[in-house]
Amino acid sequence: MSMSGRRRQGESRVRMTGKERRQQLLDVARELFAEKGYDSSSVEEIAHRAGVSKPVVYEHFGGKEGVYAVVVDREMQSLLSGMTDALTEDAAHPRLLLERAACSLLDYIEGSTDGFRILVRDSPVATATGTFSSLLNDIASQVEHILGVQFSKRGYDAHLAALYAQSLVGMVALTGQWWLDAREPGKNEVAAHLVNLAWNGLSHLEGKPTLRERG
């Protein structure tokens, strides 16, 4: 038996509160969904890895769909919260907002790799917070507001803010999905190059871009 299996089996012998058991099941399911995907995971395996019987999983979540929906909702809220915080610094320069948004996504991928791996898969279950695509649209709406203000100040057509917002968010999100497995170059370097392209454009790229806040 693996070390993790012995640990879980040992944990199962300790009487847990309902809250503790629910969290244990969520942790086990999160790891399993990230490893095998929704379709290849089962209530039986969740129960086995947690060292409990199947009825315990059904009691807490009603089945695989229920536990999956909770896992996805938690990950969506975590990612959205970090991105929202990065984009609500009204006094910050637009370039810094872009830098913070890119860093926020990469921070989440680094710290919650399993969670992001679950989010970017096509979800077969309806969740309270929607899908990864709807999450990106929420973030793009915030970016659109920021760009709209900046476009108006600079005499640009504010109606184009939505197009640019979708482009920026899409670029960062797709790069994040690529970096999920590549992990090279490092996180800050990836963020610096994203900002370099978005802010300077291809015709004015910096040779060795750096982040202004993280260096």
Residue among 78, 82, 140, 169 nearest 115 (CA): 78
Q: Does residue 52 form part of some domain?
A: no
Mean pLDDT of 199-212: 95
Q: Does residue 57 form part of some domain?
A: no
Residue 142: pLDDT band with limits 50, 70, 90 = confident
Q: Does residue 88 form part of some domain?
A: yes
Identify the pLDDT of residue 14. 62
Taking the model in full, what pTM does it have? 0.82
Structural domain span for residue 171: 73-203
Contact 50, 42 (CB under 8 A): no
Identify the pLDDT of residue 138. 87
Q: Does residue 114 form part of some domain?
A: yes
Buried b (16+ CB within 10 A) or exposed e, 101-122: bbbbbbbbbeebebbbbbbeee
* pLDDT tens per residue across span 113-127: 999 999 988 666 666
Q: Does residue 54 form part of some domain?
A: no
What is the rounded end-to-end Cα distance, in angstroms, of the chain? 45
* pLDDT tens per residue across span 49-87: 999 999 999 999 999 999 999 999 999 999 988 888 888
CATH number of the domain bearing residue 107: 1.10.357.10
SS3 content of the chain, % helix, strand, coil (to 5): 75, 0, 25
Q: Does residue 34 form part of some domain?
A: no
Please count the structural domains in the chain.
Answer: 1
Identify the pLDDT of residue 126. 60
Q: Does residue 12 form part of some domain?
A: no
Phi, psi of 17 (to 5 degrees): -75, 165
Identify the pLDDT of residue 12. 47
Q: Does residue 155 form part of some domain?
A: yes
